[in-house]
Amino acid sequence: MKNLTDKLISRGAESLTDSELVAAIIAEGAGDDRALEVAHELVEGVDGSLLRLTSTDFSRLRMTSGLGLRRAMRLKAATELGRRVLLAEGTAYDTITSDSDVARIMEPQLGTLKHEECWALYLASSGRVLDRMRISQGGVQTTVVDCRLIIKRAIELLATQVVLVHNHPSGTTDPSRQDMELTERVMEAARLFDIRLLDHVIIAQGARYSFRANNLIK
């Protein structure tokens, strides 16, 4: 661990590999020479995917590679701290010009959920975010959305544009038939009040699908 500590101090945390970063979090102290070995086993056990590692259930995580309660707790706490920082950054980022902006705002909220949620972002004509609201919360495969709630809030805010965004816990971003039907219903309802459905973005494990980018919304 001494070499790892020296590297962090001299070159910064950004210089650490994924395994070294995990080791720095779970190490019991400067003399914990096995921390790097355990960290390497953890990262390799999820095929090098930190996203899969951080989304692992706590009870399962603590049993992996003999990690134990205290080290699993520190790893989960570090993960949650990072998620909250990203969430705060997304909240501060208040203008949408593309689906990448939508992902930047909403992925910290939706990216690791094991159930499906649908949110609406309400925008001024400039793209400034006026509000964001969770409009449904469902199971792993489906969620029920009331179009009236979406339009009602848009009218209250005098929003001229709406973006729908929801997650797919399955990991695939391909839109389902229900996703397509929801998009059509909201687009038609919004049009009655001269409100534009700007996009519908699906988020899934670091990937995204934009209805507008795929010419499904014009």
CATH number of the domain enclosing 163? 3.40.140.10
Domain-located, residue 216: no
Last residue of a domain, one of 63, 87, 111: 87
Q: How far is CA 105 from CA 59, 75, 82, 110, 202, in A?
A: 29, 24, 14, 10, 13
With a cut of 60, say whether residue 93 has pLDDT above it. no
Res 90: pLDDT: 53
Rounded to an integer, the average pLDDT of 106-114 is 86
Say if residue 86's pLDDT is above 70: no
Q: State yes or no: pLDDT of 32 exceeds 80.
A: no
Residue 217 lies in a domain: no
pLDDT at 133: 93
Per-residue pLDDT band at 174 (split at 50, 70, 90): very high
Whether residue 104 sits in one domain with residue 55: no
User: What are the start-end ranges of the H helices in 33-98?
Assistant: 35-45, 50-54, 58-63, 69-92
Checking if the pLDDT of 89 tops 90, the result is: no
Look up residue 55 and give its amino acid. S
Query: Residues 176, 209: contact at Cβ < 8 Å?
Result: no
Q: Do both 138 and 194 map to the same domain?
A: yes
Are 51 and 99 within one domain?
no
pLDDT: is 7 or 176 the higher one? Answer: 176
Residue 218 lies in a domain: no
Domain coverage including residue 32? 2-87
Residue that finishes a domain, picked among 42, 59, 87? 87
Buried b (16+ CB within 10 A) or exposed e, 84-101: eebeeebeeeeebeebeb
